[in-house]
């Protein structure tokens, strides 16, 4: 049943500093409301227990995509539509653009934000595996100042993350990388569009002189958090690709992940698909 709307409050601060001041005064009272595409689903279902929201949608400090020599920095309010149409993101971070293209439908892509996807912390979200594979950093801001953390350290358990209630996610920073990288992103769902992932696989790799010089692999929907698969990366790094390495990497991945069993899919299916995608990624890397 839909929630009783008059029992909710939505306040729109005019500036970031006003928003941070309000969060600092009583940080358990207010929660951020960005695009609202996750929050409104809960509201409609009568399952949104928290009542007081700060509308951050109009804060310019949380918007915009900045490009420097070293980084591309996306304001937390960057929408999926903005991601897909940004030329440098399309050229250098194609997996993020693909994740954006495969997230919801056009209405969700126009309104849903990258920051909301991260902080909502669903293990089945589609952008986090790409962000982990790109070794993203997060910029968190509070009245006391700002701090940066590597994204792979952000999620600590189901819906648990390294963010205080008086903080906002301000930006997501992507280190720019050499353009010979292989980018490999697959979202596996029940159907091609408007599906929640059963498995989401993102990986980048770089071959030098016939060996894997660098590799980063991340998966969604296979653990309580979006997971960077470090053991699997270690099994592959500095190796020549041959059948034994493929087996070693698949063994490492099977050890490293513990796929969930839920109404969308079984544990066995998720494991099998993850291993097949890993092999497909390694084959693609080797073809480069």
Ligand X SMILES: Cc1cc2nc3c(=O)[nH]c(=O)nc-3n(C[C@H](O)[C@H](O)[C@H](O)COP(=O)(O)OP(=O)(O)OC[C@H]3O[C@@H](n4cnc5c(N)ncnc54)[C@H](O)[C@@H]3O)c2cc1C
Among 27, 120, 251, 286, binds ligand X (CB under 6 A): 120
Q: Is 152 in the site for ligand X (CB under 6 A)?
A: no
Whole-number Å distance between alpha carbons of 288 and 280:
13
Among 108, 245, 254, 275, binds ligand X (CB under 6 A): 108
Q: Is 113 in the site for ligand X (CB under 6 A)?
A: yes
b/e 36-68 (16+ beta carbons within 10 angstroms → b)? bbbbeeebeeeebeeeebbebbebebbbebeee
Among 13, 30, 35, 137, binds ligand X (CB under 6 A): 35
Residues 6+ apart with CB under 8 A from 46: 1, 2, 3
Whole-number Å distance between alpha carbons of 224 and 134:
20
Tell me the three state secondary structure of residue 14: coil
Mask for 47-86, x = binds ligand X (CB under 6 A): ---------x-----x-------------x----------
Instruction: Specify the stretch interacting with ligand X by CB under 6 A; choose among 22-30, 120-128, 172-180, 207-215.
Output: 120-128
Kindly state the smallest distance separating residue 4's Cβ from ligand X, in Å: 19
Among 13, 116, 123, 205, binds ligand X (CB under 6 A): 116
Among 168, 171, 181, 218, binds ligand X (CB under 6 A): 168
Among 112, 129, 226, 259, binds ligand X (CB under 6 A): 112
Residue (141 or 282) nearer to ligand X, CB: 141
* Residue 24 burial (C-beta neighbours within 10 Å; 0-12, 13-18, 19+): middle
Please state at what angle helix 243-256 crosses helix 267-287, rounded to 10 degrees: 140
Residue (31 or 267) nearer to ligand X, CB: 31
Residues 6+ apart with CB under 8 A from 194: 104, 105
- One DSSP character per residue, 45-92 reads TT-----EEEE-TT-GGG--EEE-SSEEEEETT-BHHHHHT-HHHHHH
Instruction: Specify the stretch interacting with ligand X by CB under 6 A; choose among 13-21, 87-95, 106-114, 254-262.
Output: 106-114
Q: Is 24 in the site for ligand X (CB under 6 A)?
A: no
Strand 31-33 relative to strand 52-55: parallel, antiparallel, unpaired?
A: parallel
Rg of the chain's alpha carbons, rounded to an integer? 19
Among 20, 38, 61, 256, binds ligand X (CB under 6 A): 38
Kindly state the smallest distance separating residue 173's Cβ from ligand X, in Å: 14
Kindly state the smallest distance separating residue 196's Cβ from ligand X, in Å: 6
Q: What are the residues binding ligand X (CB under 6 A)?
A: 31-39, 41, 56, 62, 76, 103-104, 108, 112-113, 115-117, 119-120, 125-126, 168-169
């Amino acid at each position: 049943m839909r929630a009783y709307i008059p029992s909710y409050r939505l306040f729109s601060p005019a500036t970031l500093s006003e928003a941070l001041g309000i969060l600092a005064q009583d940080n358990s009272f207010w929660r951020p409301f960005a695009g609202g595409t996750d929050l409104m689903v809960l509201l409609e279902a009568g399952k949104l227990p928290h009542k007081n929201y700060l509308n951050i949608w109009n804060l310019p400090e949380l918007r915009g995509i900045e490009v420097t020599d070293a980084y591309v920095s996306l304001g937390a309010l960057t929408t999926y539509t903005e991601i897909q149409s940004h030329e440098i993101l399309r050229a250098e971070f194609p997996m993020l653009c693909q994740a954006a293209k495969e997230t919801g439908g056009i209405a969700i892509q126009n309104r849903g934000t990258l920051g909301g996807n991260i902080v909502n912390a669903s293990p089945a979200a589609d952008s986090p595996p790409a962000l982990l594979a790109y070794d993203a950093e997060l910029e968190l801001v509070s009245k006391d100042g700002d701090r940066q953390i590597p994204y792979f350290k952000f999620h600590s358990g189901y819906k648990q993350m390294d963010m205080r209630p008086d903080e906002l996610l301000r930006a997501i920073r992507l280190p720019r990388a050499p353009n010979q990288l292989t980018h490999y992103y697959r979202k596996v769902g029940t159907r091609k569009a408007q599906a929640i992932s059963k498995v989401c696989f993102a990986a980048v790799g770089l071959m030098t002189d016939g060996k894997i010089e660098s590799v980063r692999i991340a998966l969604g929907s296979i653990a309580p958090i979006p997971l960077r698969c470090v053991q699997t990366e270690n099994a592959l790094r500095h190796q020549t690709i041959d059948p034994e390495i493929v087996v070693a990497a698949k063994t490492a991945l099977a050890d490293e992940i513990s796929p969930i069993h839920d109404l969308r899919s079984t544990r066995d299916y998720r494991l099998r698909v993850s291993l097949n995608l890993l092999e497909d990624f390694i084959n693609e890397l080797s073809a480069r």
